[in-house]
Chain A
Amino acid sequence: MEHEISVSIPNPSIMHKLMMARFIPVLLYLFITSTVTAEVYHNPVDQLTKSTADHTKFPQLKRNFKSGPEVTRACLECHTEASRQIHRTKHWTWEVPMKDGKMLGKQHVVNNFCISVEGNEPRCTSCHIGYGWKDKKFDFASQLNVDCLICHDGTGTYQKLPAGAGHPAYQTTVQEKKTYKKVNLSNIARHVQNPDRHNCGTCHFEGGGADAVKHGDLDNSLLKPDRSLDIHMASGKGELNMTCTDCHKTEGHQVPGSRYEPTAADKHGFDYPLPDDFPTTCSSCHGNTPHTTNKKLNDHIDKVACQTCHIPQIAKERATKMWWDWSKAGKFDEKGKMIVKKDSTGLPTYITKKGEFRWEKNMEPEYRWFNGQMNYTTFLTTFDDRGIVQINHPDGKAGDTLSRIWPFKVHRGKQPYDTQLKRFVKPKLYGPKGSGAYWSDFSWDKSISAGMTNAGLKYSGKYDFIETEMYWPISHMVSPKEDAMGCVECHAHGGRLESLGGFYLPGRDMNPLVEIIGFLVTIGSLIGIIVHSIMRYTTQKKMKREDAA
């Protein structure tokens, strides 16, 4: 709406008058008065204040549903454009075309967890907001394949099967040694809601296949966090109790806040009354001069992301995966059985199917200059295999005006690659015995062949494992201000920014010449006065003796 207003006023002088008369006074007013205070963010609400429609009263929903697409058909009777909106989102396409021609998105990127979606669809697509993406033939144009309930379930009972290509259990089903009870589609359809943290968390808290594995700053501890875990989402009495969509303000099902095209520095600041295209940044609500007691902190904002100081630790309560070594996979015990080793906290450290894992909890993130541009190594990129390959790495440097210091979880590991073509490969992991799937046949060569053939990519037949790094920018689990990082965490020798070069950091950096001069001046004058006073003492003594004589 706001954009349309500005477009419909072609005369710049009218625009100018409007700016002077309306927006600038409002901006000034906001500038003077707006500070984000810790008042209850959500007013108490009952069902009537929430919505003009009570879905339990819709005749379309007073029936039995046998499948997800049937529910979607009913939704579309009123929400006629919903699926078409969904079709435009990367939640649906898992595809993000970049300006440089690279095709990213979950469907296309390499990662160093389960490596590739393609070839493993029925398993990976248990987190797709659709029904039936089990192979390449999935119909992305189908309106009925859109899964409304995964985001709008208000009962907390809707659950997709782990390997059901996005379908829930229509009958009670046993998968991966767990029983999934039949979901009550009719009841869920009558109790829909705007997405809350449970809905988003279903996939985003369990990225990488289980709680806390992938992001480091998103896990199920955010369902009911205390204020020290996340000041915004803290759900206790008198806390802000904000949900995902309070920041990821969604319009027409387009959820802002992209991992592929992040906003590293929001120069616009406050989003009201004039919003920008990035409503999810800290400064959208806090502005660009949020520190009032120690104003020097505001001088950091052009070079240091808010997250850097205000998220001093990640994976605060639940350990996140830091290392995944696929090269160790495929070992069996003496009886020929698969091995599962766990650490003292119950987290797996070795699984025959997957290899070796390392986990960390409540740890410091790593820091890099970041200008919002992520450089990706895709399955089509040829790389130098003499060192560690960065699957993605933040672009940016100290001197440029767009870059700020950002915190990252860096997930490291070893994964297969083609030693001749020097590219990553897509192993087929999930599938029945004989399909080449590694988790059934345990042959990397067969698994890579099957995966690459399915993807239509070349494979030389020679593979090995290579160490990789993957960067996950950190934005969640913001600590309360009293827990924010102190100056000395960075302004010190051996501090958190010790290895980040290219700029002068007080408390860390010294000029060797200045230090040598300083040392010589100090030591020189001390030695000088010592020598001088000894000479004074001895000559005085001598003269006294001569006087006496």
Chain B
Amino acid sequence: MRKVYLYARFQRFWHWMQALIIFALLFSGMEIHGLFKLMGYEAAFHMHNYFAMGLLAFILLAFFWYITTGDFRQYLTEGNLLDKILLQARYYMNGIFRNEPHPFKKNEISRLNPLQRITYLMLTLVGLPAQIIVGFIYFYFNELVALGMDPALLAPIAYFHTLLAYLLVGFVIMHVYMTTTGHTLTSNIKAMVTGWEEVEDD
């Protein structure tokens, strides 16, 4: 057992802010979608728009931080990525039940396993940007129609935005559950709060 400093202050701040924003967006989005009535449609609408601006701001800030600090290298892998992902997946499907050690050790240089790398990379580079872009098209729909966009696209845009939101719900559920698969049930969450994580000895 040893302690390693995995998450810099900015990363932790960004992570929890993004978590808050995404929860707020999912929550208000569901009300706008008509799944429940709690704060009222208009309040939910305003909340959704403000938090959407927040998400855009934070994602741009994160890009800036990752590029300038060089920390984006955490997301790069050498060798056959697919093999490594399968190895990690095999652990969750099988090894975890046999008390096998994690196939990839965490340390200061490499804190993400290959499955995390690909998931977070897809989320940050594809999923969230797509959702933000679609959301902004939705918000500025009238202006875009005035510029020549087909007004019949409203429904497909709205459906796509809803679909991505549901996929994000799936991610959030899995992501929260995965935090319990560390050295202890709470060691991953503790690490995201304090920056320090207990990891298995090499």
User: Which A residues are within 8 Å of any B CB, using their own CB?
Assistant: 294, 296, 299, 302, 399, 486-488, 491-493, 503-504, 506-511, 514, 517-518, 521-522, 524-526, 528-529, 532-533, 535-536, 539-540, 543
Among B154, B166, B169, point to the contact of A504 (Cβ < 8 A): B154
- B45 and A521 contact, CB distance less than 8 A: no
> A484–B45 Cα gap in the complex (Å)?
17
CB <8 Å contact, A532 and B177: yes
Q: Are A504 and B163 in contact (CB under 8 A)?
A: no
* Least distance between A511 CB and chain B CB atoms (Å): 4
A296-B45, A487-B45, A514-B162 known; A504+B170 contact, CB < 8 A: no
Residues of B with C-beta under 8 A to A399: 151-152
Name the interface residues of B11-69: CB closer than 8 Å to any CB of A.
Answer: 32-34, 37, 40-42, 45
Measured CB to CB, the nearest residue on chain A to B160 is A514
Which of the segments B95-103, B107-115, B129-137, B194-202 contacts the partner chain? B95-103
Contact residues of B between 131 and 178, Cβ < 8 Å to A: 141-142, 151-152, 154-155, 158-159, 162-163, 165-167, 169-170, 173-174, 177
Q: In the complex, A92→B151 CA distance in Å? A: 44
CA distance A399 to B153 in the complex (A): 11
Instruction: Select which of A294, A486, A543 is within 8 A of B41 by beta carbon.
Output: A486
With beta carbons under 8 angstroms apart, the residue of B34, B45, B169 that contacts A518 is: B169
Cross-chain pairs A/B with CB under 8 angstroms, 13 sampled: A299-B142, A487-B45, A491-B34, A503-B155, A511-B162, A514-B163, A517-B166, A521-B170, A522-B169, A525-B173, A532-B92, A540-B99, A543-B98
Nearest-CB residue, chain B, relative to A299: B142
Contact of A487 among B41, B152, B167 (CB under 8 A): B41
Min CB gap A544→B, angstroms: 9
Interface residue total, chain B, C-beta cutoff 8 A: 32
Main secondary structure of the interface of B (DSSP, over half): helix
- Whether the pair A507, B32 counts as a contact (CB closer than 8 A) is yes
Given the known interface contacts A487-B41, A522-B170, the answer about A535 and B34 at a Cβ–Cβ threshold of 8 Å is: no
Tell which of A299, A508, A529, A539 touches B177, judged by Cβ atoms closer than 8 Å: A529
CA distance A540 to B177 in the complex (A): 17
Chain A residues closer than 8 Å to B97, beta-carbon distance: 535-536, 539
* Contact (Cβ within 8 A) A299 B141: yes
When distances are taken between beta carbons in the complex, the residues of chain B under 8 Å from A529 are 173-174, 177
Given contacts A503-B154, A529-B174, A539-B98, contact A518 B166 (CB under 8 A): yes
Task: List chain B residues, Cβ under 8 A from A296.
Answer: 45
- Complex interface: chain B residues within 8 A of A506 (CB): 32-33, 158
Q: In the bound complex, do residue B159 and residue A511 qualify as a contact, i.e. CB atoms below 8 Å apart?
A: yes
Give Cα distance in the complex from A302 to B169, angstroms.
Answer: 34
Name the contact of A488 in the complex, choosing from B41, B155, B166, B174 (C-beta under 8 A): B41
Main secondary structure on chain A at its contact with chain B?
helix
A367 to B170: give the CA distance in the assembly, Å.
39
CB-defined contacts of B33 to chain A, threshold 8 Å: 506-507, 510
Decide yes or no whether B180 CB sits under 8 A from chain A.
yes
The answer to whether B174 and A525 have CB atoms under 8 Å apart is yes
| Contact in complex: B42, A486 (CB < 8 Å) | yes
Residues of A within 8 A of B169 (CB): 518, 521-522
Q: How far is the CA of A511 from the CA of B177 in the complex (A)?
A: 29
Which residues of chain B come closer than 8 Å to A539, judged between CB atoms? Answer: 97-98
CB distance from B164 to the nearest CB of A (A): 10
B50 shortest CB reach to chain A, Å:
13
Chain A residue at minimum C-beta to C-beta distance from B171: A525
- Residues from chain A with Cβ under 8 Å of B154 in the complex: 503-504
Return A349 CB to nearest CB of chain B, in Å: 37
> With A299-B141, A522-B173, A543-B99 as given contacts, are A508 and B155 in contact (CB-CB < 8 Å)?
no
A510-B33, A518-B169, A543-B99 provided; 17 other pairs, C-beta below 8 A? Answer: A299-B141, A299-B142, A486-B41, A487-B41, A488-B40, A488-B41, A488-B42, A492-B34, A506-B158, A507-B33, A507-B34, A509-B155, A522-B166, A522-B169, A525-B173, A536-B96, A540-B99
Q: How far is the CB of A502 from chain B (nearest CB, A)?
A: 10
Q: Which residues of A contact B98 (CB under 8 A)?
A: 539, 543
Closest Cβ–Cβ distance, residue A531 to chain B (whole Å): 11
* 3 A-B pairs with least C-beta separation: A518-B166, A504-B155, A488-B41
Known: A509-B155, A511-B159. A493 touches B45 (CB 8 A): no
Question: In whole angstroms, how far apart are the Cα atoms of A491 and B34 in the complex?
Answer: 8
Expressed in whole angstroms, the Cα–Cα distance for A532 and B181 within the complex equals 11
A518 x B162 contact (CB < 8 A): yes
CB-CB under 8 A from A524, the residues of chain B are 170
Q: Which residue of B lies closest to A543 (CB)?
A: B99
Q: Are B170 and A525 in contact (CB under 8 A)?
A: yes
Which chain A residue shows the least CB distance to B153?
A504
How many angstroms from the CA of A486 to the CA of B44 in the assembled complex? 13
Q: Which residues of A contact B96 (CB under 8 A)?
A: 536
Taking CB atoms, residues of chain A closer than 8 Å to B34 are 491-493, 507-508, 510
Q: Of all chain B residues, which has the CB nearest A486?
A: B42
Instruction: Return B29 CB to nearest CB of chain A, in Å.
Output: 10
Contact partners of B32 in chain A: CB under 8 A: 491, 506-507
Q: Which residues of B lie under 8 Å from residue A487 when comparing CB positions?
A: 40-42, 45
Is B141 in contact with A504, judged by CB distance below 8 angstroms? no
Q: Are B177 and A491 touching (Cβ within 8 A)?
A: no
Residues of chain B within 8 A (CB-CB) of A540 are: 99
CA distance A521 to B169 in the complex (A): 8
**Given A514-B166, A525-B170: A488 in contact with B158 (beta carbons within 8 A):** no
Please measure, in the bound complex, the distance between the C-alpha atom of A294 and the C-alpha atom of B151, giving whole angstroms.
22
Q: Which of B80-131 contact A (CB under 8 A)?
A: 92, 96-99
With A504-B154, A514-B159, A514-B162 as known contacts, state yes or no: A521 contacts B41, CB within 8 Å: no
- How far apart are the CA atoms of A486 and B154 in the complex, in Å? 22
CB nearest neighbor in A for B172: A525
Tell me if A533 and B177 are in contact (CB < 8 A). Answer: yes
Q: Considering the complex, give the chain A residue whose CB is closest to the CB of B169.
A: A522
